[in-house]
Amino acid sequence: MTLKISISGVRGFVPDSLTPEVCLDFAKAFGTYLGGGTVVVGTDPRKSSEFIKGIIFSGLLSTGCKVIDLGICPTPTVGVMVTELEAAGGIVITASHNPLPWNGLKFMRGDGIFLNETQANKFLKIYESKQFTSAEPQGVDIDYSGIDIHIKRVLKIINRSAIKKKRFTVAVDGCNGAGSVALPKLLEKLGCRVIPINVDLRAPFPHPPEPTPENLTVLVALVKEKKADIGFAMDSDADRLAVISDEGAPLGEESTLALAVKFALMQNPHLAAKKRLIIVNLSTSRAINDICRDFQATCIRTKVGEVHVSEELKSLKGLIGGEGNGGVIYPCVGFNRDSLTAAALLLNYLAVSRKKLSLLAKELPQYFMAKAKVECKNSDEANDFVEKTKAIFKKKDLILTEGVKVVLPDAWIHVRPSNTEPIIRIMAEAKSQEQAEELVRQVL
């Protein structure tokens, strides 16, 4: 079975490829890499997460680390707690949107951001060498306050009273994942009438955990039945947010970031132009560029991968950013994709605009996306696929930052090896669904 090791961490099947030995060695390598210190650990609700957690604790303790057990909590909550507790780093036990029996490990540094390529390579060399530090264990503490601390940070960045006055009805599909407790709790503090489904941490997952429209049919029906103002869906570790409109229409994950960016710019009209910086990745919708143009803001694009966006946001002091998969990163709360922050920003937008979500969505620049995946056996096969794509579009404007992105006058297509699965990802965007699908067909 495949064990996928990349800048995004490590993922594999439990126990076939993500074995106890692999988990132990990664924990020892991370403790060695950090040189000891405090490490916070959070998990998603997969049954294998609890099993893996004990092994991770053992590895960290053997290298002289102090461990703080955060329990089951969203991935962005782990990032918040790394900075709140001034820890040396953090580990999240999750395979994010991957289905069972996948699980994985994500590694954070002291500012709550995931390891970048240079840091990850240094860390992986320690893992591969098996030259681990051995030191006196510093013990394990339990701290389940992470979700409450995270919520307090989110409440500081919005107009709480404006949202409360609206008494929004919100349907939530937690996918029985790590956000199943956190998001309803936040919404209740905002005075919302919450209609939750799939919020049982004991029974992951009632449907595939990736929050795409085809996996959210029950939530769509619930929004329509209860006449909800909005519907929210999260993936298993709650760093991504998908949105259902008041009409029961899945808006697509790109709309989450587009709405959040537009609202953040609306709320900061007097911000100096050099500070109106929006950071997104190469595969995020061109709608962000259009919104930035309308607000005289600058859109900067990075390689795909949360860490690239986060580091650019931090170094340039950007206003907001994220990825088009429903991942909103708002530095005022933290440098991780964060479904709680995204939900609060969208509710704030609804409250101050006095418009329904369906209308706000129609006011966004309209683009259409088509996506495909191609399985590949190894990196040589993946690279060959990318080279063939370059040849097809050799006379066009090409961006080679990651894989190949072909930029056309009113469309684009991006072909790249996945960071998390043994596949090639193909994504196209155009002014019509037919044009986007035709671009994908050309590549395939």
CATH class for the region spanning 368-443: alpha beta
Of the candidates 346, 289, 298, 288, which has an alpha carbon nearest to the alpha carbon of residue 319? 298
Select from 74, 84, 138 the least CA-distant residue to 106: 74
Helix/strand/coil for 194? strand
Q: Catalytic positions, please?
A: 96
Question: Is there a contact between 197 and 208 (Cβ–Cβ < 8 Å)?
Answer: no
Neighbour-count burial of 319, counting CB atoms closer than 10 A to its CB (0-12 exposed, 13-18 middle, 19+ buried): buried
Residue 10 has a pLDDT of: 96
Q: Compute CA distances 121 → 8, 33, 107, 125, 381, whole Å.
A: 12, 11, 12, 6, 23
- Over residues 81-115, the pLDDT tens digits come to 999 999 999 999 999 988 999 999 999 999 999 99
CATH class belonging to 3-144: alpha beta
| Tokens linked to 439 | 């671009």
Cα distances (angstroms) measured from residue 410 to each of 53, 105, 417, 436? 48, 39, 24, 10
Pairing of strands 169-173, 230-234: parallel
Predicted pLDDT at 1: 55
Please write down the long-range contacts of 406-410, taking CB distance under 8 Å and 24 or more positions apart: 406/439
Q: Is residue 414 within 8 Å of 405, Cβ to Cβ?
A: yes
Kindly give the parts of the chain with pLDDT less than 50: none
Q: What are the tokens at 95? A: 């395979």
CA separation for the pair 17, 21 (Å, rounded) = 10
Q: Is it true that 3-144 and 149-362 share their CATH fold?
A: yes
CATH 3.40.120.10 fits 149-362, yes or no: yes
Domain extents for the chain? 3-144, 149-362, 368-443
Q: Provide the β-strand partners of residue 167.
A: none
pLDDT value, residue 52 = 98
Q: What is the largest CA-CA distance in the chain?
A: 62
Per the prediction, the chain carries an average pLDDT of: 96
